[in-house]
Chains A and B, each alone.
Chain A
Amino acid sequence: MSVAATFTGHGHAHDHIHPEPTGFVRKYLFSLDAKVIGIQYMLTGFLFFIISGLLAEVIRVQLLVPKGALLSNDAYNGVYSLHGSGMVWMVIIPLMTGGFGNYVMPLMIGARDVAFPWLNLIAFWMFPIAGVILFSSFLIGAPDAGWTEYPPISVQGPPGTTLWCVAIFLIGISSTLTGINFMVTIVKMRAPGMTFTRMPLFIWAQFATAALNMIATTALAAALLALFLERVFSIPFYDPARGGSPLLWQHMFWFYSHPAVYIMILPAFGIVSEIYPTFARKPIFGYKMIAFSSVAIALLGFMVWAHHMFTSGMAPWLQLPFMILTMVIAVPTGIKIFSWLATLWGGKIWFTSAMLFSLGFIATFTFGGVTGIFLSAVPVDLHEHGTYFVVAHIHYVLYGGSILGLFAGIYYWWPKMTGRMMNDRLGHWHFWLTFIAFNVTFMPMHWLGLLGMPRRVATYDPQFQFFNDVASIASFVLAGSTLLLIYNMLWSFRYGPKAGPNPWGARTLEWQISSPPPYYNFKTIPAVLKNPYNFGEPLPYIGLESMAGEDGHGPDPHAPVPVHA
């Protein structure tokens, strides 16, 4: 009996589900199942993570000696441009939304899939195509103006810059579609009783992220389209010689890319917000404040883009509001950090690998946030802009924030995704190596920046060599530490103990069903009575019992029909 036949009878769309495909192609390659698509995103994103990471190592090898060890200046420009573009658009954003969003979000809200599975499939396949286009730009001359591709350099740049436009445009469309899909899923498909203030915090984060993706990304699409037109058909938008304005690009680009910073960090906030209460065995502190601060960050994120342009030339009276609004963003972020600390306070903490990465996240992300406050102050920014201080800042928030959050999420949900545990001792080694090597790599960059070393240079003054060598050597350790994660994954497939449905004793819905979850996620859609964080109380779900101890081959047609609110 097909699953679809059973569930259409229940009379609700989220009971309806397409039948489980059987062939390899429909099951693993072009699946409509959000869980499979999520894993596809993760594998593809991890591959691009390795490529972009190797590009970073090429940068660090180059900077071992002041004259540059490896590359010509032009080749170096291409390497750092694609390292940045790859990490932002092909790694962090797809992993945060497409990867963890697709896998975890429908499970957490008690849905069987996202609202538009076909749209999800299409959005996913744009991603590897965009990645291949982006990295293939090396073949015809890689873009050389950094990940921000400011005109007029990008207008005059090598042919690969056009491919860069196409690739980022494509991944932008993919993000927009995913944003729309997730908005509808979260608004319309939550289990009965799961009101907005009973949603897990990861869902709040995904909701704010989806809104940003949906609204901001088309502004980037416009900027890219204009750059594409200017490069291919010489339509004047940015070239000052023909009446255009390079600053126009910066406005349009940062109107997207500042919210994109929050697209990259909000899901990580969501991931650690799940992990802290689970491993501190305490209710989350300040549930509503954490939830609403995600939305506040998303809203404020649209009002601060020009703080990237203090040195580009802007009306002096505009600098003050942008400076103040940028500092204001630290308030909702600080609310989250203090709420997490209060969640940990007095808890009996279980130091799993996922928890270690989450704790490391607080330290490094807060550090990166504080240097962000430095940079928001106009007088400091005038001094630090375009130096290694900025490089250090973005790596503290993007590696120390987003990537550590992603690692935490991998260790946390791995048992759910594969049904097997990872090696916790190896995970500890991975964490400590990563954490120490990360800080040794990027901490000296603050000092380099304060001493005046500019970013994006292939050669540098000999006085900067010591700190550059420290950073380079530590970065090799950092890259090597990722091998431990890969080894741990392989180890888990072969030797990992069976995880069972809920190895962490977590309380969100995805842990209440088998690992890995069945194709249709939930036999019966449960009803939700409270938010999931009240450790010490019984689970706030009704209608889950009928799932346990059955044959596991399909929903029980005699199970009571859940009440839909």
Chain B
Amino acid sequence: MAVSALNATHEAIVARYDDVDPVYGEQREHRLLGFVLFLVSDVILFSAFVFAYLYLRNSVPNWPPINKDGVQLPRFDVALATVNSVVLFGSGATMHFAMESWKKLDKAAFNMWILATIILGIGFLSGQAFEYHEAQITWAGSTMGASFFTLTGMHGFHVFVGVIYLIVLFIQANKGVYTGSKYFGLTAGTLYWHFVDVIWVALFYLFYLM
């Protein structure tokens, strides 16, 4: 049994490489570099708002600040955010497994992992919606609210776009758009999802721990 399994894997690996296409190879390189550069410019967008947050934060003596009615604003709820973070980081792991399954041509496992990622992504968005609903500060009420809702909202928008993207990838993969050697869309989706994770690490520290 073990030998036939080994043979099957071997055939799968051969199948993966026998349709190697140099045109595709070069296009893939271009798209990968282009996508990474896009992520770099996106990092600058977040960094600029993080700078704004830190600048506004340092321009008042105490943080959380006092709002315009003289009320001391509360800190953010770390417990809820921690649960939410675990959900998002978990989705990073499942996305990684989805990609690895694809590379091993294990489509069933790929489908399972990418669906898990999508569900966890939706879970994160639901958690964030709940957090916004329960929040004791408003977007327009203070600079704290302004930077918090703008930054986490931008991040949530990225997660939302990512979830849509993953659903598209899931459909495309099952329609046979990607093969064992041509799957740049999946690579880009994975990169994007991990990027969204990394941004969250920074935001989690900046808003909940700092």
Interface residues of A (CB under 8 A from B): 8, 11-16, 115-116, 119, 176, 179-181, 183-184, 187-189, 214-219, 221-223, 225-226, 229, 233-237, 242-245, 248, 251-252, 255
Which of chain A's residues have a CB closer than 8 A to the CB of B111? none
- Contact call A251/B26, Cβ cutoff below 8 A: no
**Given B23, B29, B44, B149, which contacts A218 in the complex, CB threshold below 8 Å?**
B44
- Contact call B34/A181, Cβ cutoff below 8 A: yes
- Contact call B33/A187, Cβ cutoff below 8 A: yes
Which residue of chain B is the closest to A222 with respect to CB atoms? B48
How close is A232's CB to chain B, nearest CB, in angstroms?
11
Which of chain B's residues have a CB closer than 8 A to the CB of A248? 52, 55-56
- Taken together as a complex, chains A and B put the C-alpha atoms of A214 and B34 apart, in Å, by 11
- Taken together as a complex, chains A and B put the C-alpha atoms of A41 and B29 apart, in Å, by 28
Which of B96-104, B136-144, B158-166 lies on the face that meets chain A? Answer: B136-144
Additional 4 contacts, C-beta under 8 A, given A14-B26, A188-B26 = A12-B22, A179-B41, A183-B37, A215-B40
Which of chain B's residues have a CB closer than 8 A to the CB of A234? 140
**A180 and B22 contact, Cβ closer than 8 Å, known pairs A218-B45, A242-B143, A248-B56:** no
**Given B25, B41, B139, which contacts A176 in the complex, CB threshold below 8 Å?**
B41
- Contact call A233/B48, Cβ cutoff below 8 A: no
How close is B165's CB to chain A, nearest CB, in angstroms?
17
Which of chain A's residues have a CB closer than 8 A to the CB of B30? 13, 115-116, 184, 188-189
Q: Which of B38-89 contact A (CB under 8 A)?
A: 38, 40-42, 44-45, 47-49, 51-52, 55-56, 59-60, 65, 68
Which residue of chain B is the closest to A223 with respect to CB atoms? B48
B171 in the interface, Cβ–Cβ < 8 Å?
A: no
- Taken together as a complex, chains A and B put the C-alpha atoms of A187 and B38 apart, in Å, by 15
Q: Which of B102-124 contact A (CB under 8 A)?
A: none
Which of chain A's residues have a CB closer than 8 A to the CB of B52? 222, 226, 237, 248, 252
Which of chain B's residues have a CB closer than 8 A to the CB of A16? 23
- Contact call B55/A235, Cβ cutoff below 8 A: no
**Given B23, B26, B40, B146, which contacts A235 in the complex, CB threshold below 8 Å?**
B146
- Taken together as a complex, chains A and B put the C-alpha atoms of A229 and B26 apart, in Å, by 42
Which of chain B's residues have a CB closer than 8 A to the CB of A189? 30
How close is A388's CB to chain B, nearest CB, in angstroms?
32
- Contact call B48/A13, Cβ cutoff below 8 A: no
**Given A214, A219, A233, A252, which contacts B37 in the complex, CB threshold below 8 Å?**
A214
How close is B141's CB to chain A, nearest CB, in angstroms?
8
- Contact call B22/A11, Cβ cutoff below 8 A: yes
- Contact call A251/B55, Cβ cutoff below 8 A: yes
- Contact call B45/A222, Cβ cutoff below 8 A: yes
- Taken together as a complex, chains A and B put the C-alpha atoms of A52 and B125 apart, in Å, by 45
Q: How many A-B residue pairs have CB under 8 A?
A: 115
**Given B26, B40, B48, B65, which contacts A12 in the complex, CB threshold below 8 Å?**
B26
- Contact call B48/A243, Cβ cutoff below 8 A: no
- Taken together as a complex, chains A and B put the C-alpha atoms of A179 and B24 apart, in Å, by 23
- Contact call B27/A13, Cβ cutoff below 8 A: yes
Which of chain A's residues have a CB closer than 8 A to the CB of B56? 237, 243-245, 248
Which of chain B's residues have a CB closer than 8 A to the CB of A119? 34
Which of chain B's residues have a CB closer than 8 A to the CB of A116? 30, 34
Which of chain B's residues have a CB closer than 8 A to the CB of A245? 55-56, 59
- Taken together as a complex, chains A and B put the C-alpha atoms of A14 and B56 apart, in Å, by 48
- Taken together as a complex, chains A and B put the C-alpha atoms of A189 and B23 apart, in Å, by 13
Which of chain B's residues have a CB closer than 8 A to the CB of A184? 30, 33-34, 37
- Taken together as a complex, chains A and B put the C-alpha atoms of A225 and B52 apart, in Å, by 12
Which of chain A's residues have a CB closer than 8 A to the CB of B7? none
**Given A15, A183, A236, which contacts B33 in the complex, CB threshold below 8 Å?**
A183
- Contact call A233/B40, Cβ cutoff below 8 A: no
Which of chain B's residues have a CB closer than 8 A to the CB of A183? 33-34, 37
- Taken together as a complex, chains A and B put the C-alpha atoms of A141 and B36 apart, in Å, by 40
Which of chain B's residues have a CB closer than 8 A to the CB of A8? 23
- Taken together as a complex, chains A and B put the C-alpha atoms of A116 and B26 apart, in Å, by 12
- Contact call B42/A218, Cβ cutoff below 8 A: yes
Which of chain B's residues have a CB closer than 8 A to the CB of A252? 48, 51-52
Which residue of chain B is the closest to A13 with respect to CB atoms? B26
**A236 and B37 contact, Cβ closer than 8 Å, known pairs A244-B56, A248-B52, A255-B48:** no
Interface centre among A181, A223, A242 (most CB of B within 10 A): A242
**Given B27, B34, B49, B55, which contacts A222 in the complex, CB threshold below 8 Å?**
B49
How close is B133's CB to chain A, nearest CB, in angstroms?
18
Which of chain A's residues have a CB closer than 8 A to the CB of B187? none
Which residue of chain B is the closest to A242 with respect to CB atoms? B68
B9 in the interface, Cβ–Cβ < 8 Å?
A: no
Which of chain B's residues have a CB closer than 8 A to the CB of A12? 22-23, 26
Which residue of chain B is the closest to A15 with respect to CB atoms? B23
Which residue of chain A is the closest to B32 with respect to CB atoms? A184
- Taken together as a complex, chains A and B put the C-alpha atoms of A268 and B95 apart, in Å, by 46
B174 in the interface, Cβ–Cβ < 8 Å?
A: no
Can you show 13 pairs from A to B with CB atoms below 8 A apart? A8-B23, A179-B41, A180-B34, A180-B38, A184-B30, A188-B29, A217-B41, A219-B47, A219-B48, A222-B49, A226-B49, A251-B55, A255-B48
**A244 and B143 contact, Cβ closer than 8 Å, known pairs A12-B23, A13-B26:** yes
Which residue of chain B is the closest to A185 with respect to CB atoms? B30
How close is B157's CB to chain A, nearest CB, in angstroms?
12
- Contact call B33/A11, Cβ cutoff below 8 A: no
- Taken together as a complex, chains A and B put the C-alpha atoms of A248 and B60 apart, in Å, by 13
- Taken together as a complex, chains A and B put the C-alpha atoms of A235 and B48 apart, in Å, by 17
**A180 and B55 contact, Cβ closer than 8 Å, known pairs A13-B23, A242-B68, A243-B143:** no
- Taken together as a complex, chains A and B put the C-alpha atoms of A15 and B21 apart, in Å, by 13
How close is A253's CB to chain B, nearest CB, in angstroms?
10
- Contact call B26/A219, Cβ cutoff below 8 A: no
Which of chain A's residues have a CB closer than 8 A to the CB of B51? 251-252
How close is A222's CB to chain B, nearest CB, in angstroms?
3
**A235 and B41 contact, Cβ closer than 8 Å, known pairs A13-B27, A116-B34:** no
Which of chain B's residues have a CB closer than 8 A to the CB of A215? 40-41, 44
- Taken together as a complex, chains A and B put the C-alpha atoms of A222 and B46 apart, in Å, by 8
How close is B145's CB to chain A, nearest CB, in angstroms?
8
- Contact call B26/A236, Cβ cutoff below 8 A: no
Interface centre among B22, B40, B41, B149 (most CB of A within 10 A): B41
- Taken together as a complex, chains A and B put the C-alpha atoms of A498 and B23 apart, in Å, by 38
- Taken together as a complex, chains A and B put the C-alpha atoms of A223 and B55 apart, in Å, by 13
How close is A258's CB to chain B, nearest CB, in angstroms?
14
- Taken together as a complex, chains A and B put the C-alpha atoms of A61 and B118 apart, in Å, by 62
Which residue of chain B is the closest to A247 with respect to CB atoms? B55
- Taken together as a complex, chains A and B put the C-alpha atoms of A393 and B61 apart, in Å, by 40
- Taken together as a complex, chains A and B put the C-alpha atoms of A347 and B197 apart, in Å, by 59
How close is B32's CB to chain A, nearest CB, in angstroms?
9
B150 in the interface, Cβ–Cβ < 8 Å?
A: yes
